[in-house]
Structure 1
Amino acid sequence: MTPKAYVLTELQASLPFSDVPWQRINATLLQQPGLINKTWLSGVGNQSVGGFYAFDSIEHATRFCTDYFPQEARALGVAQTTRIFDTHGTEDASRDMNSVHFGGSLANAPGAFVYTEVWLNASPFSEAIPWRAMNPILKQQPGLLAKTWLSGLHTGTPGGLYAFDTIEHASAFALEYFPTEAAGLNAAFHTRVFNGAVVAAASKAMRSPFYA
């Protein structure tokens, strides 16, 4: 099923992923309306816990962020972050970057993920972002396996979820290359690096396309 929306979550907690009760949480998540799949996220350096979710509609993604997820964060006693992204206009750009959310495939499971978001309103995405010029440069970044382009719902903020072969390559991308891309757009930005190895089993149980 082709996703119509994505949700990114992150809990303000430091918890080794081995201590996360993901089996219990997964069982509840699989009952959420419209959820296609989830990739678990575990922060490098701070061990934050989060996820990247694909939904069949913006309505279901929004309901997840306003209804279910705040209850989960409240039960764990921690503050939370949620963001919703509209896939409209980003499919061609994502397919060109081997996005697993649009039929791409990986020879090996990712060792790390990078999430980025740039603080500017680039709407509509297909007209405001020169992805045809940017993608060839991104494809040259060491260790990059795939990228799913993101466009913030209501904000138009552009970004991406990147899969890398190693944490070292992911960190180098976030620290060295991506700041130059944001500078070229003359905008502030947000980056996060996540460990892909520790979340493999939990993500596979949630039908994550990164671990198919």
Structure 2
Amino acid sequence: VRPASRGMQETTPFINQAALTLSSGGWFDVYIASDFENHLNNREFCEMVQEIIQYGIRRYQNMYARRYKDTNFELYQKYTYEDVCRLLNWDKNMNAQNIGGYFYDKTTRTMPVFINYVKDEGSIAYEDRFLSPSKLIALSKHPRKITSNDAVHIYNAKEEGNRIYLFVRKSKDDKESKEFYFLGEIHAVGEPNPITMEATKDDAFEIMYHLDTVVREDVYEYLTT
């Protein structure tokens, strides 16, 4: 790391310190480009840089600093499919069609469950529903039997070391339809309930999930009413 000039150190010491901290942490080589350093000697430019950095720090502290358990997520923040794949450290992104409501990643042993709570008229009758702020019934993909690999990953999660996380949005037609609220880790309880889909006659099964964290009242009301 090439230390900043004395003038720049006097006006923005935290910029140089950030470079030293990142480098000493072993993440990657960090240095201050000479052109950028020269611009920092301009007081107005320097103040603008400070404002941007401080805004970024405040945004991180307000939205992402309170991580849920050992994950990269924060409760009640909103994430896209791409965000979830990336923050779960999957090797590649999966699109919504391939995820199909949930997807088990063998490498990380994680399974995000994505639910559109309000269904479109004429859409597949997946009657996912909250029974309470801490209990949810969700349907499997179809066709699926209760002996399928999906059921094994869900109901043997503890034995296999799997982690299942819940993401819910009110409707895919919302203005912010690409984002789901993160509602924490969930666990299947009881036994899978086999059903037959009315429209397609496919096999499927209902799953009773218990939420580790009771859904906050305002979020629960928004999603269910």
TM bucket, shorter chain: under 0.3
Whose strand proportion is higher, 1 or 2? 1
Q: Which has the higher contact order (CA 8 A, sep 6+)?
A: 1
Give me the TM-score of the superposition, normalised by structure 2.
0.24
Give me the TM-score of the superposition, normalised by structure 1.
0.25
